[in-house]
Amino acid sequence: MEELLAEVVSVLVTVVEACGAAVIIIGAVWAFVRFVYAGLRERSTSAFVPVRLTLGRFLALGLEFQLASDVLRTAVAPSFRELGQLAAVAAIRTALNYFLGKEIAEERRQVAEEHERGRAVPDPTDLARGRTV
C-alpha cells in the first residue's frame, strides 16, 4: 500500500513540476517575444513595464507549482535528512515567491505613480497650441 502511495505521489510530483516548468517556459518565451516587439516597434521604456509585470506573474505562478510539488514530496519523504533538505528548498522557494510578489506590487505602484504624474503634467503639444489641461 505504501509503495503504491509512493508511486502515485511520484507521478503527481512529476506532473505538477512539469506544469510549473511549462508555465515558466511559456512566460519566458512570451516575454521574450514581447520585449523584442516593444524594442523594435514602440522604442519607449514604458512599453517594457507591462511585459515585465506579466512575466513576474508567470514566474510567481510557476513557483507556486514548484512549491506544491515540494509539499507533495513531503508526503513520502522517508528520513529526517531528506525531510530537512525538502524543508530548506521549500523555504528558499517560499522566500523567492515572497520577494517576487513584493517586486510585482512595487512595480505596479511605480506604474500607477508614473501614470498619475503623466496625467498631471500637460502635454507639450497642447501647450504649444495654447490649450490648457
Partner 1 sequence: MLEQVAGTASSAVVGAALVAALVALATTRHPPLAIGVLLDLLVAAGLLRLVGNPSWQAVVTAGVILVLRRLVGAGFRAARRSWSGGGEGPGRRPAARRRLELLDRLVRPAWRL
* Contacting residues toward partner 1, per CB under 8 A: 14, 17-18, 20-21, 24-25, 27-29, 31-32, 35-36, 39-40, 43-45, 48, 52, 55-56, 58-59, 62-63, 66, 89, 92-93, 95-96, 99-100, 103
- Among residues 8 and 110, whose Cβ is nearest to partner 1? 110
- Among residues 109 and 131, whose Cβ is nearest to partner 1? 109
Query: Who contacts 100 (Cβ-Cβ below 8 Å, separation ≥6)?
Result: 56, 59, 60, 63
- Among residues 110 and 131, whose Cβ is nearest to partner 1? 110
Smallest gap from Cβ 123 to partner 1, in A, equals 20
- Count of residues in the chain: 133
- Among residues 8 and 92, whose Cβ is nearest to partner 1? 92
118 vs 49: CA distance, rounded Å: 15
- Given a contact cutoff of 8 angstroms between Cβ atoms, the answer to whether 35 and 51 are in contact is yes
Helices (H), 74-121: 80-120
Smallest gap from Cβ 56 to partner 1, in A, equals 7
- Given a contact cutoff of 8 angstroms between Cβ atoms, the answer to whether 21 and 68 are in contact is no
Smallest gap from Cβ 1 to partner 1, in A, equals 25
Phi, psi of 123, deg, nearest 5: -70, 125
